[in-house]
Structure 1
Amino acid sequence: MKQFFKFVLATIVGLIITSVILFFVLIGIIVSAATSKPASVASNSILTITIDHPISERTPKNPFAGINFWGFNNKSIGLDDILENIKRAKTDNNIRGIFLNQSYMLSGQATTEEIRKALIDFKKSGKFVVAYGEIYTQSFYYLASVADKVYLNPKGIFDFGGFDSQITFLKGTLDKLGVEAQIIKVGTYKSAVEPFVLTKMSDANREQVTSYLGSLYDYFINNISISRNIPTDTLRDVANNLRVQYPEDALKYRLVDGLKYKDEVLDLLKDRIGVQHKKDLSSVDIEDYTKGDDDRADKTSGLQNIAVIYASGDIGGGDGDDNAIGSEKLSAALRKVRMDDKVKAVVLRVNSPGGSSLASAVIWREVVLTKKVKPVIVSMGDYAASGGYYISCAADSIIAEPNTITGSIGIFAILPNMQKLFNDKLGVTFDGVKTGKFSDLGNISRPLTPEERTILQTQVNRGYDEFTQAVAEGRHKTQVYVNSIGQGRVWTGTQALKIGLVDRLGNINDAIESAAKKANLKDYKLVSYPEQKGIFSKLGSSMSEDVKANMIKKELGENYSYYEQIKSLQSMMRTPQARLAYQVNIK
């Protein structure tokens, strides 16, 4: 017994010492993050852009950003700061050019498009852009194709074989588990439910995917053709016949300008800015090149405001976070800017595949009310589909990128019947008492009755009717017409412009300029909403969630998207959904 207490005491002492050490380490991290300043930029420098992580709409206020500790390593930057930093570098006399270092571009096509356009604008200054990669994914090559020079490692990999969109079907797994997905939906093309009831794509879904994937690919090929001065027919032939299998092939077909090792590219960069090869290249990472104007607040004080409200991620109730839209928090942000006399116009930045139809309708209502008192312009990112389109449709004007995924106007609900799993697989049975005929409507331990299914179908039909009516009113169309282009069908931004779902093609800066023009503002200040949590308010949740997310991402790699899909099933089972079926991943 004495030995037992000795071990217990030693363990307790060890835990106390470890906790004290970790406490001081944590304090050091917080102080370091709170007191960190933007990197100073030496003259004759190069701005280095390496994008090897998914790009969020806004740079998160993360106290552990840039610190490789306990699985964090979160030196990430949002699209807002990427665009702002490229714009700033254009007129910064200390920046001579941009180096696009090997990147994977894990975000959507519209995000890549925004950065690509910023680089094209940067080149108007006469400064250079040079790209290098050991591996060129098609998304990274699309970005890099605007560079003055594109270099590939002599032993590298160059992927240029065309686009594909793949859906994971779970029906076989559900059958083995004894789970039936009971589907209630509206919309021939509303294919979000297909993975649970089919083993392959329906004809309608194959039709729409073929259509929008073709639209995305046309835009991709046409822009590379312009940047690289290669005929589109040649590019299609190269891709269709996989003529680029080795680095020499990419050079042969003029997709790259040279096969160089990293050290050779760095020497070429030194030559461009007049630095001797034996000296170090002066460069600054785009994550560090930020918030350099200390007196910016003074310059913009007293100006009228344009509010940029970010709506990013799945739509649900509650507060949400930087990667999920909470109807409560977003609605509060809309009410706040609506009642703020200094805010003269609103840009609603939507990057969402949708989610809860109820939460979408709640946000839509706030957009309608805000539009009555000040201009509301929507800027669409990678996705503004289903519920993402619902919250957009009431705006004065909608601006999308050509490769934005939008539309998908439809509603569905999924209710699992797990009777076979409980009874046959697990040997679990249920019994009980109810006071009304429908008291246990939605019980997952048994199948729906025909009468219950009729009730739920009526509710979903009503939700679709309200959705199409909202779109018809916002877009000044008839509900019959909206239904004809609705039915859950997915469109690209280019296609959506032709059928009247969006007003013009452009990026977030175009939306801001449009908002300023509509509000008759020449000088203005941008303010962002919803307010991001600060260091101390985020500390507890940020620590656990970031560690967990980073560990899962590291373990699953490219398969992380499948994990997210399965995780989203929990919310799909609760309420009617206005949601896109899948993500479009371009290699």
Structure 2
Amino acid sequence: MEFLAEYAGFLARTVTIVVAILIIVAVIAALRGRGRRASGGHLDVLKLNDFYKDLRHRLEQTLLDKDKLKALRKAETKAAKQAKKEDAKPRVFVLDFDGDIKASATEHLRHEITALLELATPRDEVVVRLESGGGMVHSYGLAASQLARIRKAGIPLTVCVDKVAASGGYMMACIGNKILSAPFAILGSIGVVAQLPNVHRLLKKHDVDFEVLTAGEYKRTLTVFGENTEKGREKFQEDLESTHELFKNFVAGYRPQLSIDDVATGEVWLGQAALGKQLVDELRTSDEYLAERAGDAELFQLRYVEKKSLPERFGVAASGVLDRTLLTWLSRFHQQRFW
């Protein structure tokens, strides 16, 4: 028992020292970064043709005998030489957008689009693999404006939705010259929603006053703590209707084939039904489309990577651990419920 007590004390002191060192390193990094201009990021470019080629080669090496493999490689080399003599292949620039409620990925998307617009021509194509359930109006308005830059430049834009493009996500998707959807992807939700709690009665019950002072009749229409009025509610609803009308006009402008009043109800549809509503143009996954394009075009995946400071890396790592822990327990909870 005495040994275990000493060992526990030693372990506690060691852990304390390690944690203290990590804190000191983080503080030093934060102080060095304070007031210093951010170093920015860089653009990573991956040629997807090589990725698909490597997948195929690995499978061929396993399945084919040496003679067949040798003949196949010889034919590929001959075809590659012939392709060099002909006109250069068109290029396909592949971008990924995984949207949260604030459309945070817009910060990287804007740099990726700026880069490709320097080289892309109408002969090329931009493919955006889009996943988003929507979020803040102004955030997704900016994200959609970035994709609109591609359309204005006259470069064909294809949007692939494998899982979801709803609300602000569909606001972005509708800009594509062509929208491809997986059969069970979720699309639509062309509507606007706002909700907030009100604890005024609870405060009043406990004799707590909350004052709301404004300059301007509609500076504050609805409030969490104050007493809401019918006039305030009407104004708030009016603002929602106005935003919805702008949303509808935006979608209709890029997809005039839609019966906008039929689809702008806030409903969502799975891919097959969305095709019938003309919310999408074709049922295909992004993998299927890109693998096919790799046969006749050069595919380049662009990804803007921002350099993170040491404290930010600590924060991201801690957040990842927390997310995985929560997802694990949530998964276990659901399993218990369905069992």
In the superposition, the TM-score normalised over structure 1's length comes to 0.41
Q: Aligned to 1:531, what secondary structure does the other structure show?
A: strand
Say whether residues 1:449 and 2:229 are aligned partners.
yes
User: How many angstroms does 1:528 deviate by?
Assistant: 2.7
Distance, in Å, in 2 between the alignment partners of 1:385 and 1:391 is 9
How far apart are residue 349 of structure 1 and its match? 0.8
CA distance in 1, matches of 2:208, 2:198: 14
* Counterpart for residue 286 of structure 2: 508
CA shift for structure 1 position 341: 4.1
Change (3 A) 1:309 1:422: farther
Structure 1 CA distance for aligned equivalents of residues 194 and 182 of structure 2:
30
SS in 1 for 2:130: strand
- The correspondence of residues 96-135 of structure 1 with structure 2, limited to 5 A, is 96=62
Match of 1:92 among 43, 58, 71: 58
User: CA offset at residue 548 of structure 1?
Assistant: 1.8
Q: Superposition pairs for residues 292-441 of structure 1, below 5 Å?
A: 305-316=91-102, 320=104, 325=105, 327-341=106-120, 344-373=124-153, 374-424=155-205, 428-431=208-211, 433-441=213-221
Deviations 1:273-299 (A, max 9, x none): xxxxxxxxxxxxxxxxxxxxxxxxxxx
- Over 3 Å counting, the alpha-carbon distance change for 1:95 and 1:313 in structure 2 is farther
CA contact (8 A) 1:307 1:529 kept: no
> Which residue identity is paired with 1:540?
F
Q: Is the 8 A contact 2:211 2:226 kept in 1?
A: no
Counterpart Cα distance in 1 of 2:307 and 2:162: 23
Letter in 2 for 1:486: A
Q: Residue deviations 1:404-447, cap 9 Å, x none?
A: 111111111113222123333x6533135443433443421134
Q: Which amino acid aligns with 2:296?
A: K
Aligned residues: 278
CA deviations 1:223-268 (Å, max 9, x no partner) are xxxxxxxxxxxxxxxxxxxxxxxxxxxxxxxxxxxxxxxxxxxxxx
Q: How does 1:23-172 map to 2 (within 5 A)?
A: 88-92=54-58, 96=62
Q: 1:314 to 1:20 in 2, by over 3 A?
A: closer
- Where 2:195 maps in the other structure, the secondary structure is strand
Question: Would you say the 8 A contact 1:303–1:525 is kept in 2?
Answer: no
In the superposition, relative to structure 1, how do residues 352 and 526 fare at CA in structure 2: closer, same or farther (>3 Å)?
same
User: Which of the numbers 274, 281, 285 marks the counterpart of 1:496?
Assistant: 274
TM-aligned CA deviation for residue 338 of structure 1: 2.6
Contact 2:222 2:233 in 1 (8 A): no
- Taking the TM superposition and a 5 Å limit, the aligned residue runs for 1:559-570 are 559=333
> Any gaps of 5 or more consecutive residues in structure 2?
1-9, 24-45, 65-87
Note if contact 2:134-2:168 (Cα within 8 Å) is conserved in structure 1. Answer: yes
Aligned counterpart for 2:330 among listed residues 547, 552, 556: 556
| C-alpha contact 2:108 2:305 (8 A) present in aligned 1 | no
Alignment of 1:202-221 (within 5 A): none
Task: Tell me: higher relative CO, structure 1 or 2? Use CA pairs within 8 A at least 6 residues apart.
Answer: 2
* Cα deviation, residue 391, structure 1: 0.5
For the 8 Å contact 1:304–1:342, the answer to whether it is kept is no
Report the Cα distance in structure 2 between the residues aligned to 1:331 and 1:360, rounded to whole angstroms. 12
Matches within 5 A, 1:176-325: 305-316=91-102, 320=104, 325=105
CA RMSD in angstroms, aligned pairs only: 3.9
Q: Distance in 2 between matches of 1:505 and 1:467?
A: 25
Whether the 8 Å CA contact 2:94–2:299 is kept in 1: the answer is: no
Q: State the Cα deviation string for residues 106-162 of structure 1 (Å, max 9, x = none).
A: xxxxxxxxxxxxxxxxxxx79xxxxxxxxxxxxxxxxxxxxxxxxxxxxxxxxxxxx
1:90 is displaced (CA, Å) by: 4.5
Q: Secondary structure at the match of 1:417?
A: coil
Q: Write the distance in 2 (CA, Å) between the matches of 1:450 and 1:540.
A: 48
The C-alpha deviation readout for 1:371-425, integer Å capped at 9, x for no partner, is 122111000011111211110001110000111111111111113222123333x
SS of 2:321 mapped into structure 1: helix
Residues 539-564 of structure 1: CA deviation (Å, up to 9, x unaligned): 2222221122223233333558xxxx
In structure 1, the partner of 2:300 is 526
Relative to structure 1, the CA distance from residue 411 to residue 435 in structure 2 (aligned partners, 3 Å threshold; closer, same or farther) is closer
What SS does structure 1 have at the residue aligned with 2:127?
strand
Unaligned runs of 5+ in 1: 1-9, 24-79, 97-124, 127-301, 561-585
Cα gap change, 1:433 to 1:457, in 2 (>3 Å) = closer
After TM superposition, give the deviation of residue 512 of structure 1 in Å. Answer: 3.4
Alignment check: 8 A CA contact 1:347 1:511 kept: no
